[in-house]
Amino acid sequence: MAPTLAAPTVKVDRKWQLWINGKFEDGVSERQLFNPGNGKPLAKVAEAGPDQVEKAVKAARNAFDHGPWPRLTALERAQFLFKLADKIDENASELAEIETLNMGKPLRETQYDMADAANCFRYYAGLVTKPLGQTVDVPAPSVTSIVREPIGVCGQIIPWNYPLLMAAWKLAPALAAGNTCILKPSEYTPLSVIRLAEILAELELPEGVVNVVLGDGPKVGQPIAESILVDKIAFTGSVKTGKLIAAAALTNLKKVTLELGGKSPMVVFDDFNLDTAVDYALFAIYCNAGQVCSAGSRMIVHKSIHDQFIKKMIERSKKIKVGPGIEPDTEMGPLVSAQQLKRVLEYIEIGKSEGAKLEVGGDQPQGESLSGGFYVNPTIFSNVKPEMRIVQEEIFGQVVVVQKFDNEKEAIELANGTQFGLAGAVFTSDVSRAHRVVKAIKAGITWVNGYHNTYNECPWGGYKQSGWGRELGTYGLDAYTELKQININLDPQPVNWFQP
C-alpha cells in the first residue's frame, strides 16, 4: 500500500484537458472544481462542446472500423492491459492523492481503490486469452462454432464516488474484448481519469481507442447515448438518469448496461454477536461517507436487540474521526460537493418532518480543520415506517435508518420493501436461516455475516430498479461482446429443395 500523506504533494492546479483521438485539447469552456475537504477552489478542467463530443464519437468509430486495436490478438491486447496495470501501480500514490483531493474520501480508501483498479485490468487481461467460444456437434458435412466478437463503439458514463475504479470497471472488459470507448467521468471528479488518459498516452494506445470527454450529463452524456455511431452505452448512476440514458439508447437500439441506485438492507438476527454486527453496520453505511451504491443504508434489527444495537451504534459513530481525506488519521471524509451536502441535509430534515427519531448526528461537525468543507456527522434515524422517504429513497450519504422486526417473514418483507435490489446482507449464527433469508432477499449482491467485499471475479449489478445487466466477472466481458454463430459446409452440393 502507498504511504499515508499528511499534506498534498501533487500539483492539481494545472491544465486538465480533453483527450480525443490520441491528442489532448482544450474545451469550449472550463469548470471550476472545489476541494470537498475545505470548499476552496482546487482546479479548472476543460469541458467539451457539441462538436468535440461528435469528434470523440467519430474518432472511436474510425478506430474500431479501421484501426489496429480490434484486429490485435487477444494476447496483444492483454499485454497492453498488463502494462497499464503496472503503470497504475507505479503511480498509485499520485493517483490516490489526486482522487482524495478531488472526491474527498480518505487516502486509505483511495489507496485501496488504486490497487483494485490495477487488478481489474489484470483480471480482464488474463480472462480474454482464455477460451471464450464453443463448437457444436451438428450433422456432417457442416461444422458450427459460436464466437464472441467486440460490440464496437462503447459510450461509458461513470459516477463521482469511485472515479478511477469505475473507469477501470468499464474500460478493462471493453478494451480486452477489442472495443473502442468514449469515457465521460463525472463533472465533479474528472481528475484521476484525466491522469489515467495521460498514462494511456504514455503507453501509446492507438489513436481513438479511448477518448475522454468532460462535461455534464445533458451536454456530453446525452449526445453520446443518442449517437447512432455508438453501439453500446454503459452507465453507473441514479435511477432517474439511467432511465433517460435507456430512452436515448433507443435511437439505434444500442446495447445498454445500467448500474443504478440502492437502498440496501442489513438484516441482523438476535443470535449473532452484537458488537460484531454493529462494527459491520458502521462499515456498511459510513464507508466513503455513505456515498456507495451498495451502502447498507437500512438496518433491519430483531426487536430483542434493537435498542442495544442503536445504543452501541451511537457510541461507536460518535468516535468516528471526521476530517479532510488528506489527513492521515481521518476515518470518514466529506461529501463530494456542496450540492451533495445540500441533498443530504435536506433528507435529514425530511426524516425529522416525517416523524422519525433522530438518534445521533444530523448536523455538521465544527472545527478549524473542517471549515468550509462538505461534512455531515454520522446520522442514525429510528422509529421509522416503511413508507417514509428516508426509508424508500437513496440518500447517498452518511444517513442510516434502523427498522425493527419480530420474525423472519417480517424481516424479509422489510428487506424487499423498496424499488431497489442492488445489495443486501444477513447476520445470523444459524446456517439454515442464513441460506433461507439471503436467497429470499431480492438483490444481485448479497453477503452473509459480512459487507462490502467486492471481487473482480464476481458479477456486480442488481434486481428491480437497481439496473440492467452486470459488470465484472465473466459476465462483464460478455456484456462487451456480440455472439455470432458460424456455419461452414465442408462439402457443398445442390440442395434440390426445388425441382431442377
pLDDT tens digit string along 180-238? 999 999 999 999 999 999 999 999 999 999 999 999 999 999 999 999 999 999 999 99
Whether pLDDT at 425 is above 70 = yes
pLDDT at 3: 36
What confidence tier does 4 reach under pLDDT thresholds 50, 70, 90?
very low
pLDDT at 8: 60
pLDDT digits (tens, 9 = 90+) for 226-256: 999 999 999 999 999 999 999 999 999 999 9
Strand partners, 382: 357
Copy the grid coordinates of residue 428: 445470523
Specify the pTM. 0.95
What is the spatial distance between Cα 108 and Cα 327, in angstroms, rounded to a whole number?
A: 10
Vertex 89, ends 88 and 95: CA angle to 5°? 55
**pLDDT digits 0-9 by tens, 334-387:** 999 999 999 999 999 999 999 999 999 999 999 988 999 999 999 999 999 999
pLDDT at 459: 97
Count of CB atoms situated within 10 Å of the CB of 488: 10
Distances from the Cα of 196 to the Cα of 94, 110, 211, 359, angstroms = 11, 14, 11, 42
Which residues are known catalytic residues? 259, 293
pLDDT of residue 2: 38
pLDDT of 7 reads: 54
Predicted confidence at residue 6, as pLDDT, reads 47
Give me the mean pLDDT over the 124-132 stretch.
Answer: 93
Q: Write down the pLDDT at residue 5.
A: 40
Task: Give the pLDDT mean for 451-471.
Answer: 97
Per the listing, cell 438492507 goes with 265
- In angstroms, the CA 6 to CA 8 distance is 7
Higher local confidence (pLDDT), 8 or 91? 91
pLDDT of residue 336: 98
Q: Is the pLDDT of residue 500 over 90?
A: no
**Beta strands 265-268; 423-427: pairing state:** parallel
Hey, which residues does 180 pair with through a beta bridge? 153
Averaged over 160-166, what is the pLDDT?
98
